[in-house]
A = this chain, B = another copy of it.
């Protein structure tokens, strides 16, 4: 069973619902691409379109995204069918705060679809066979199902991610990514109707950069942790055994797993580079909203609190990085897959 690391729930200062602007920017940026991809590639005759957002979190981003998908389909089919209905499924881990999701959902009176939730990991079956027409996932598939198995024996000394780590550590991440994607694609190959589309948006790092500067998004948090080790507040072994279960695939990585799986054709694969205006403080809160849970699980809430407080102390350094290097290493991968064969 996949491990679960939900975004912060509730409505508080550090909640994901109030701190997901970066993801919102990403989704906004992808909006037109998603719309075009659906209009160009979706070719199914049905009275009810079943759409799912995999890794929807608590909103509000998921609502904008689903509305966009619904409108694209309406636009495409408006002349041929006036009575189309939409069943939109919001999927995330069981531990996601669905109560918050539902509250926001029902305060949106513009809703033009029937809404449902599917709790559970997308690294596994979620739907009956041949029941989905469009599966969408934005900034969710970079989450691995677990910390790479291969890392249990190999200590990732002084690091919390593969960024800047040894080739062995990196290989363990790649391995886990490939296994997870095979599970994801096989599950969807069963669940999607023939001709159904998977639309993916996720953060990406070009392959050639893995051994160079890396993603750096965690560098500042990592260095706070190392400071705490040096001051004797955190045990070194506790840091060595902590690794973020995130992998940012390149376009080659994605092509490889899709081709190996064999059930989907790649209709579109694009890498874009997004300008995102965010100040350093918001950036740290943003990281906290997304990762506090996983840090707390390993380090406890007291240490986790201090990690983020200390990272706030590096605000000038982060500001400089956001202005210069951040954009150079931040890419979005946009991919459209079509379900091409039935598994019997």
By a beta-carbon cutoff of 8 Å, the part of chain A in contact with chain B is: 47-48, 85-87, 89, 94-95, 97-99, 102-103, 105-106, 114-120, 125-129, 131
Contact = CB atoms under 8 A, between A and B. Distances in A.
A39 to B, nearest CB: 22
Contacts of A47: 128-129
Nearest to A131: B48
B89 A94 contact: no
Contacts of A119: 102, 105-106, 115, 117
Contacts of A114: 118, 125-128
A115 B87 CA distance: 15
Contacts of A117: 98, 116-119
B116 A48 contact: no
Contacts of A118: 114-117
A48 B85 contact: no
Nearest to A125: B114
25 contacts: A47-B129, A48-B128, A48-B131, A85-B129, A87-B127, A87-B128, A87-B131, A94-B102, A94-B103, A94-B105, A94-B106, A97-B99, A98-B98, A98-B99, A99-B99, A102-B119, A106-B120, A114-B118, A114-B127, A115-B120, A116-B116, A116-B117, A117-B117, A117-B118, A117-B119
A126 B126 CA distance: 20
Max count, chain B CB within 10 A of own CB: residue among A97, A102, A126, A127? A102
Nearest to A47: B129
B94 A98 contact: no
Contacts of A106: 94, 119-120
What secondary structure prevails in chain A residues at the interface with B? mixed
A313 to B, nearest CB: 35
A98 B87 contact: no
Contacts of A86: 128
Central interface residue in A95, A116, A126, by most chain B CB within 10 Å: A116
B99 A129 contact: no
Contacts of A127: 87, 114
Q: Looking at A87, A89, A106, A125, which has the most chain B CB atoms within 10 Å of its CB?
A: A106
A258 to B, nearest CB: 25
Given A47-B129, A94-B103, 8 more contacts: A86-B128, A87-B131, A97-B99, A99-B99, A106-B120, A115-B120, A117-B117, A117-B119
A259 B133 CA distance: 38
Nearest to A117: B117
A98 B89 contact: no
Contacts of A102: 94, 98, 119
A89 B87 CA distance: 13
A116 B98 CA distance: 12
A5 to B, nearest CB: 16
A120 B116 CA distance: 10
Q: 9 shortest A-B CB distances, which residue pairs?
A: A85-B128, A48-B128, A117-B117, A102-B119, A94-B106, A98-B98, A116-B116, A94-B102, A116-B118
